Homo-oligomer: A and B are copies of this chain.
Amino acid sequence: MTDPTSTTTSIDAALEQHLDTTQAARLESYQAFLRIPSISALPEHAHDVRAAAEWLADALRTAGVGHVEVAETGGHPVVYGDWLHADGAPTVLIYGHYDVQPVDPLDLWTSPPFEPVIEGDRMLARGAADDKGQVHAHVMAAAALSATRGAFPVNVKYVFEGEEESSSVNLAAWLETNRDRLAADAAIISDTGFFEGNLPAITVSLRGLLYTQIDVIGSPVDLHSGGYGGAVQNPANALAQIIAALKGPDGRIRIPGFYDEVVALTDEERAALDALPFDEAAYQASIPVTALVGEAGFSTLERRATRPTLDVNGIWGGFQGTGAKTIIPAHAHAKVSCRLVADQDPDVIFERLRAFVQEIAPPGVTVAVQFLGGGRASLTPLDHPITQAGARALEAVFGRPPVFIREGGSIPVTASFASVLGLPVVLLGFTQPHENAHAPDEWMSLANYEGAIRAIVRTLDEIAALPR
């Protein structure tokens, strides 16, 4: 990778010099942000999420974004900030999220997840990549612009969410309510990353998500497996039976109607995907797993980015300790989620999943399926001027044109920005692949982080220069 600190031609010299001289303070600020355990999914961390919001709002103010507020959503707050003094210039909405994933299993972290440490090129901490690192890069880009130019090249509106890792349950309503003041010409979402081999990339599609919980209830208390075994349904066996029935050995999901609305790739799209420099063996070795496994008839890249999935995210019931406890568990549970693709509707897919689970539920237990969240997949146009502006910025900073990729993850706001606000969106993200987002030892490449700040400035300059 090109050393971003040497690409002084990509941004103006004063700004580059400012970034050079402020790096130590910048990394300290980054670490301070990472120290706040803003886990949005866990109610016991609600005050930490709010503390992170307040911290971020202060950082935006310090960065010269004149109007900043911590906006209530009914759940965790949105940090909103704007600078609107670039008369006649376009307005860009910038999105990231300051909440993070839970940290279990804690014992697999090399260092505590909320005590960030720098090891070589890596910042190690929960949120270092997803997504506090990228949010922080935007704040530092703003600070650099304020310090060196006293102004932004475009009007900017920052929307930093606190519930992205909790299915963005309140964001769509908040966007709807604030539709007028969020008016803009385009949106930049920074919550994605580079392609395998750390190739600069712009993501042109994201999968949607349906997140559910299946609860299987038997007797009110655990039963002695000797006294009752053989005479009653076992909720954990029943749960396994239900989960096993959801997917066939060919990797196809067996929920009736599940694939009905899936838009197939065109031959052209498939060819573009196949043309990406993807080393399947290296990918497998990097995880590592003993085999890559998925839906029959599709390549690994197709499976992970263009096909819907069904995964158990967690399962539990009965005795989990050392040794033996001879019980029939009173109940068993699983978190089951589907990644969705265009044009699957999470509400429709949930209803089909729920109905199918009820249909296959064995006798002697009570089975319920809870909806825990969902969002639609998104597809963004490759040829939009803002996408092309981002591509030019990436090439200028990182030394090669970006590849255009489809990502398997979900950023619920992407679909909302398009549907609620009617904005064109560019997914401009900077993390390296295999950065352990959602896993122990999450990390961010500091070269990518530093490059991100420069690429963000350059993207805003490129947008300002677009013909109106």
| A contact residues vs B (CB 8 Å cutoff) | 40-43, 101-102, 104-105, 108, 165-167, 207, 209, 211, 218-234, 236-237, 239-245, 247, 249, 251, 287-295, 300, 303-304, 307-330, 332-335, 337, 339, 362-366, 372-373, 407-410, 433, 436-441
Contacts and interface: CB of A to CB of B under 8 A. Distances in A.
A325 B438 contact: yes
A227 to B, nearest CB: 5
Nearest to A224: B438
Given A230-B408, A363-B293, A329 B313 contact: yes
A101 B243 CA distance: 30
A309 B102 contact: no
Contact of A314 (B236, B309, B436): B236
A208 to B, nearest CB: 10
A315 B314 contact: no
Contact of A315 (B309, B324, B332): B332
Contact of A311 (B229, B290, B310): B229
A362 to B, nearest CB: 7
Given A244-B245, A288-B219, A339-B230, A325 B105 contact: no
Contact of A236 (B211, B221, B315): B315
A409 B228 CA distance: 8
A243 B440 CA distance: 28
Given A325-B41, A440-B222, A240 B229 contact: no
The 7 closest A-B pairs by CB, nearest first: A226-B409, A244-B244, A314-B319, A314-B318, A41-B323, A236-B312, A240-B243
Contacts of A249: 362
B240 A312 contact: yes
A230 B409 contact: no
A323 B437 contact: no
Given A42-B321, A293-B363, 13 more contacts: A41-B325, A223-B439, A226-B339, A230-B307, A230-B309, A232-B289, A236-B334, A237-B311, A311-B328, A312-B317, A313-B327, A326-B410, A326-B438
A360 to B, nearest CB: 10
A332 to B, nearest CB: 6
Given A226-B408, A241-B244, A323-B42, A292 B231 contact: yes
Contact of A225 (B229, B324, B334, B339): B339
A312 B436 CA distance: 32
Contacts of A436: 221
Contacts of A232: 287, 289, 292-294
A73 to B, nearest CB: 16
B221 A108 contact: yes
Contacts of A373: 324
A223 B437 CA distance: 8
Contact of A209 (B240, B314, B315, B326): B326
Contacts of A315: 236, 239-240, 315-318, 320, 329, 332
Contact of A313 (B225, B230, B251): B225
A207 B211 CA distance: 42
Contacts of A364: 289-293
Contacts of A230: 251, 294-295, 303-304, 307-309, 339, 408
Contact of A229 (B102, B211, B339): B339
12 contacts: A108-B221, A227-B409, A229-B304, A229-B309, A236-B314, A239-B240, A293-B363, A313-B318, A314-B320, A320-B333, A323-B372, A326-B410
